[in-house]
Amino acid sequence: MTSLNQIAESIVADNKGILAADESTPTIGKRFAGIDVENVEDNRRAYREMLFTTNGAEEHIGGVILFDETLRQSTADGTRFADLLSSNGVHPGIKVDMGAKPLAGAPGETVTEGLDGLRDRLAEYAELGAKFAKWRAVITIGDGMPSDYCLDANAHALARYSALCQEAGIVPIVEPEVLMDGDHSLEDCMEATRRAHAAQFAALEMQRVALDGILLKPNMVVAGQGCATQPSHDEVADATVALFKESVPAEVPGIVFLSGGQSEEEATANLNAMNARHSDLPWKLSFSYGRALQQAALKAWVGEDANMDAGRAAYAHRARMNSLACAGTYSAELETANA
């Protein structure tokens, strides 16, 4: 039986990363609205099939996070998506949280829900082929935020989810996301992320989670989108790696960054700078991108069957660019080069 560590390691092996295709039905509806595509199940299925049938993507993608509906869907010829991915050496994953809800007694802050019934849901997802799972906590920087209360509540929920995942033989992705929203500085983000990691790893230890059988999905250390002073790619890389050396135990096999509102090329360039400037790290630095892997593909597809190949080409290009970033060999010139 494949161990949790082997699954986690293989997802980020050979400069591979994760495609986050786990948008909920309302969220994919927002993406479709931007290209004037109706948010109905058949369109959602066709779009995901386009991504999952992209030849060569498996060279750069080690795992795909799916939504509940998507895990149960099949290609037009009847092949289950989970089986299709697995046959190409790509691990199917599943989003299991129920979303961030207002945290009682903490105006402006949230806690992610979904622990009720999770053990039974994980057992079913394992039967359906899921090898890893995702749970996202949402942490805001602002006046008096994040509070210790918010950090502890979310860390506890993520740790409980992680323990249940490992019990079910599923690798948990631990995602304590400090949002880019706001006008905070890079230093503010670093401090909030430091506190979030301290709370998170203390909770994981308390819940007896094996750190060599998880993947961490954190934010990069960046300035808020409204901050007048925006750091360079090198500054983001150096701040992020410095903090993670302090805050992330060496047992963790991989760190798969979220893009968190960055543009496609910005997310790739920041990841590349980390790997190009820093070596001999105890964990792999990789990606778990949603929009930063899909936006160009969506625009190329626009809901038309005739554009499927164009959408696949756009997705394949972004997957390759991010794989190069994992190796520290990406450059902006490669965005326009024929490859």
Choose the catalytic residue: 95, 131, 217, 284. 217
Distance between CA atoms of residues 32 and 68, nearest Å: 18
Nearest to 269 by CA among 174, 333, 193, 216: 333
Tell me if residue 95 is catalytic.
no
Nearest to 301 by CA among 36, 90, 27, 30: 36
Tell me if residue 175 is catalytic.
yes
The CATH superfamily holding the domain 4-329 is: Aldolase class I (3.20.20.70)
**pLDDT of the residue at 189:** 98
- Phi, psi dihedral angles at 179 (to 5 degrees): -70, 150
Q: Where are the domains of the chain?
A: 4-329
**pLDDT of the residue at 339:** 46
Contact 131, 168 (CB under 8 A): no
Choose the catalytic residue: 175, 177, 264, 284. 175
- Phi, psi dihedral angles at 216 (to 5 degrees): -95, 130
Q: How far apart are the first and last CA of the chain?
A: 38
4: which 2 tokens?
């949790």
Peptide bond into 146 cis (omega under 30): yes
pLDDT tens for the chain, 339 residues: list them: 579 999 999 999 999 999 999 999 999 999 999 999 999 999 999 999 999 999 999 999 999 999 999 999 999 999 999 999 999 999 999 999 999 999 999 999 999 999 999 999 999 999 999 999 999 999 999 999 999 999 999 999 999 999 999 999 999 999 999 999 999 999 999 999 999 999 999 999 999 999 999 999 999 999 999 999 999 999 999 999 999 999 999 999 999 999 998 999 999 999 999 999 999 999 999 999 999 999 999 999 999 999 999 999 999 999 999 999 999 999 999 998 654
Nearest to 132 by CA among 22, 291, 8, 20: 8
Which amino acid type is present at position 62? G
Residue 152 burial (CB < 10 Å; 0-12/13-18/19+)? middle
The torsion of the CA quartet 265, 284, 220, 153, rounded to 10 degrees, works out to 140
Residue that the structure tokens 């805050």 belong to:
247
Q: Which letter does DSSP use for residue 218 in this model? A: P
217: which 2 tokens?
């999905």
Three-class DSSP category at 103: coil
**pLDDT of the residue at 1:** 58
- Looking at the chain, the number of H-run helices and the number of E-run strands are 12, 10
